[in-house]
Amino acid sequence: MPSPDQTSNTVDFETARKQLLAASQAAKHSKRPLTLADLYRQLNLRLQTSLEIDRLLEMFFTDIQGVLPFAALLYRHEETDLQLTLGSPAAAHTASYRLHYEAEELGEIILQDTQRIDDHRLNQLEALLGCLLFPLRNALTYRRAVQASLRDQLTGAGNRSAMNQALAREIELARRHGHPLSLIMLDLDHFKDLNDSHGHRGGDEALQRVVSRLKRQLRNVDMLFRYGGEEFLVLLSNTDAKDAALVGERLRAAVDQHPFEIDGQPVHLSISLGSATYRAPETLEQLLQRADAALYRAKRSGRNQLSIAL
């Protein structure tokens, strides 16, 4: 199979804007229709109507199809943990751009197509990408603000407000479509003893280190929330009981089998976990109660283990 044809660039938005204006004026003087310029103006108006990044990119991808069709658009922004895919990905030819304005990173956008992307199409694409500059920048600012309001300041995990929103949404999706949904409740073992030995600063450091380690074991679609104190909840969408148990054991081992240092001193940390999988038509409260009861059994049975809800 031939290797994909791939183009990677950095967008200079000011140059792209000047190129488009020059092309528009040339077309005007030659009486040719200003198709590309009309699209540019349309995008400039439409992309001012939303602060949701997925909506912005959907409008951009949809609007350019009539003049500059592509099979798929992929976007990622690592800082805000955002990945979006539109269209039909895995096409053979790609054009990749890292978007930025001055020192601000605006993410990476990848356009894919089944046909070769020649220089003419690239020039048109780069001109139109200029329309995304300020709308995308504003949307990222808004996304950061929303994320900050839904994040636990100490650990970086989601807070209770974010957890309640996500649980309500995922329960509704599980009921409507019959998708599996699992929860894992966990907490740090003997956390009071650690606080007594190392103080609250040491306890805070332990929570931060454990959360960092847990996140490395989870998929992008999995969600980790601070339930309260040293207790956390992992939301596993589209995950059945068997797979949830595998995730739980992976989380337990990640904490138990690797050394920690608190204030320069070696400390052994472990977690106890309780896993529950949604059973229609139970309520969210019932699901949480089963996960909590499983966590209690794990702690009562000796800690540093996973218990499956009955």
The catalytic residue positions are 230
CA distance 252 to 255: 6
Measured at the alpha carbon of residue 151, what is the angle toward residues 253 and 73, in degrees to the nearest 5?
Answer: 90
For 182, the 3-state DSSP assignment is strand
* Among 184, 190, 185, residue whose Cα is nearest residue 202: 190
Q: Are 217 and 251 in contact (CB under 8 A)?
A: yes
Contact 232, 185 (CB under 8 A): yes
Alpha-carbon distance of 303 to 298, in angstroms, equals: 6
User: Cα-Cα-Cα-Cα dihedral of 214, 217, 218, 224, to 10°?
Assistant: 0
Q: What is the DSSP string of 207-256?
A: HHHHHHHHHHTS-TT-EEEEEETTEEEEEEET--HHHHHHHHHHHHHHHH
